[in-house]
Structure 1
Amino acid sequence: MTDTPHLDRLTARGRAFLGSRHAILGGAMTWVSERHLVSAISNAGGFGVIACGAMTPDMLAAEIEATRALTPRPFGVNLITLHPLLLDLVAVCRDQRVSHVVLAGGLPPAPAIAAVKDFAKLICFAPNLALARKLLRSGADALVIEGSEAGGHIGPVSLAVLAQEILPALPEATIFAAGGLGNGAGVAAMLEMGASGVQLGTRFAASAESIAHPAFKQAFLRAAARDAVASVQLDPRLPVIPVRALRNAGTEAFMAKQREVAERLDRGEIEPALASLEIEHYWAGALRRAVIDGDVETGSLMAGQSVGMVKAIEPVATIIASLVDEAESLLARRQARAALPEPA
């Protein structure tokens, strides 16, 4: 479908902000959101986002250059605020003329916000209304509200609640909805509630262009929504951000890892900050085993609850076209119904 007037009207602000045909952001997924997937999303009319993760500045520069060689269209870079070289990574984005930077993984520090604002549009994650307002005052140009239905690191509140809380309160802000979105009906619902666009990750992780291991993608095809479960924090001294992933032996291994680190804390063998860092390193390694090596038994199969809507390994262009077609058709039908005269 090339003519999408109803969708275009609701996404006008998001499309203008991103500079893309459709206001569909690719969620930044470590090990997955690299040059091939990011360029495929942008080439298909969406907006791809590189997941920097734990990359060094040199690695990030190379990834940006490689992505630009695959697409002439705009894309962004997601940086984790806890990265020890955050400002160096921001400088790489500046030198590489990146147009949009996403700061994720915690409240962005003021120096990073100021540095990004010098050369790019800034996108931040808002887990509640108070923080959304604070981020906009601090300089964020757009927000992502991501519900707990999402894959990977998640907050405690569902998208349905966040959308009701935040979208009506900030009608002039550019806000992208994320978490549990897997088809055009979900996209249309968020737009009608006031979102400027949407962000999806899980469906793109299982796309043809995704470099994820075939076994990783097959696990998505077999899974139902209930199989994507959030991790549990065992010890209050280890403030682990919950991670949503498909249940497997790795889920139990993570619980065992938390118990082991807590016992070392009890014995004074490790500092609390290092203990939390060790937990995060565990997740990074487990995710790589699943995505790159195809270890679907003990690796981390990070996935959102929309995984139940992954029915086939499709090209990114097909996924985006289906989202657009479904959303436009639904919006057109609703407008037609609204235009019908009231029964006598």
Structure 2
Amino acid sequence: MTTENDIKRMMARGCEFLGTEYAILGGAMSWISERNLVSAISNAGGFGVIACGAMEPHMLDEEIAETAKRTDKPFGVNLITMHPQLEELIEVCAKHEVSHVVLAGGLPPGWAIPKIKEFGAKLICFAPAFALAKKLARSGVDALVIEGMEAGGHIGPVSTSVLAQEILPELRDELPIFIAGGIGRGHAIAAWLEVGAVGVQLGTRFVCASECIAHENFKKAFIRAPARDAIVSTQIDDRLPVIPVRALKNKGTQEFAAKQIEVAKRLDAGEIEMGEAQLQIEHFWAGALRRAVIEGDVENGSLMAGQSVGMVKAEEPVADIIATLMDEAVKALEKNRG
């Protein structure tokens, strides 16, 4: 008879790495993964991750301190490699002795890895391709998250199932690997654990948590949406280094196309350089996401969501979400081994 202890044994390596009861990472979502949701995930036995996004160092300083007031359990901080103040943000993490740093947005600069490790933090990076996964493993990162294109927000071009088939068999013995993208139920968690993952990361599933500060309109949009409504943004100009974003279709997705045209024209006119062009695109998403998450403008704001959004059915406490996921995982294993 499969029990929760069997699932925990399969998660043991991930739990040990994170210092948690369950090897379930909260996906870092800008404006959403802040002190309230992050601490709730950690208090419920998972691993909450603060989304630094476009925060200034003083803002991250306050967010870490406020999160620590709300939980005595481990939590991490997600930093974007292209952030112009990355070094200062890492210093803030060092000041607070953050246990885990998650770097997103491509290969981190060479100096960043030793700087993070020198204050004792474990470093987690995203692997959207096999070649990058191998490079990250060689560079000394402590764990990888394989995130497929089914995820919400900024995504890579390959599905979770294909990436996992490429990367897991090759690297799972070298370092812990977590799976993300399109996970909405415990059945998928059980399946990934059985093939060698040490745990999973979920973002979309936690958006409608009671503890999440997202506006009621934002949550209602998630509860109503089917998977097919979570679409990928279109790149208008090949010169612009635009990372595709998956979000629920609305006027905001159309406005992004117009923003790209505007930025491309300024690039043509020599008014801005490529680095500034990319930052303007990132700032567009940060502003559009805030309009939807905080102000509740679900027509013009950005509704970043993964394809698992169709499995979000109601607002409920984080503890209940994690309990349901674990119960589903146990039942799935029982059925598979029946």
Q: Please, what TM-score do these two structures have when normalized by structure 1?
A: 0.95
1:41 has 2:46 as partner: no
SS in 2 for 1:102: strand
Offset, 1:18: 0.3
1:146 has 2:147 as partner: yes
Offset, 1:265: 2.6
| Distance in 2 (alpha carbons) for counterparts of 1:226 and 1:45 | 31
SS in 1 for 2:144: strand
Q: Which residue of 2 aligns with 1:122?
A: 123
Offset, 1:82: 0.9
| Distance in 2 (alpha carbons) for counterparts of 1:183 and 1:157 | 21
SS in 2 for 1:320: helix
Kindly provide the amino acid, as one letter, of the partner of residue 79 in structure 2.
L
Note the residue ranges of structure 1 that are not aligned, 5 or more in a row: 338-344
Q: Which residue of 1 aligns with 2:84?
A: 84
Kindly provide the amino acid, as one letter, of the partner of residue 52 in structure 1.
C
Change (3 A) 1:265 1:142: same
Identity %: 67
Q: Which residue of 2 aligns with 1:286?
A: 288
Offset, 1:61: 1.3
* 1:292-331 equivalent positions in 2, closer than 5 A: 292-331=294-333
Specify which of 160, 169, 175 is matched with residue 177 of structure 2.
175
Specify which of 276, 289, 301 is matched with residue 278 of structure 2.
276
Kindly provide the amino acid, as one letter, of the partner of residue 107 in structure 1.
L
Give yes or no for contact 1:163–1:193 (8 Å, CA) kept in 2. Answer: no
Kindly provide the amino acid, as one letter, of the partner of residue 239 in structure 2.
R
| Distance in 2 (alpha carbons) for counterparts of 1:266 and 1:27 | 37
Offset, 1:215: 0.3
Q: Which residue of 2 aligns with 1:221?
A: 223
| Distance in 1 (alpha carbons) for counterparts of 2:94 and 2:275 | 31
Give yes or no for contact 1:6–1:332 (8 Å, CA) kept in 2. Answer: no
* 1:1-344 equivalent positions in 2, closer than 5 A: 4-118=4-118, 119-172=120-173, 173-335=175-337, 337=338
Residues 250-259 or 286-295, more deviating: 250-259
CA RMSD of aligned residues (A): 1.2
| Distance in 1 (alpha carbons) for counterparts of 2:131 and 2:270 | 38
SS in 1 for 2:101: strand
Offset, 1:219: 0.3
| Distance in 1 (alpha carbons) for counterparts of 2:9 and 2:336 | 14
Change (3 A) 1:289 1:166: same
Offset, 1:334: 2.2
Kindly provide the amino acid, as one letter, of the partner of residue 149 in structure 2.
S
| Distance in 1 (alpha carbons) for counterparts of 2:123 and 2:65 | 20
| Distance in 1 (alpha carbons) for counterparts of 2:82 and 2:246 | 20
Q: Please, what TM-score do these two structures have when normalized by structure 2?
A: 0.97
Offset, 1:310: 0.3
Kindly provide the amino acid, as one letter, of the partner of residue 111 in structure 1.
W
Note the residue ranges of structure 2 that are not aligned, 5 or more in a row: none
| Distance in 2 (alpha carbons) for counterparts of 1:55 and 1:270 | 23
Offset, 1:272: 2.6
| Distance in 1 (alpha carbons) for counterparts of 2:267 and 2:104 | 28
How big is each residue's C-alpha offset from its partner over 1:179-206, in whole Å with a ceiling of 9 and x where there is no partner?
0000011111111121100000001112
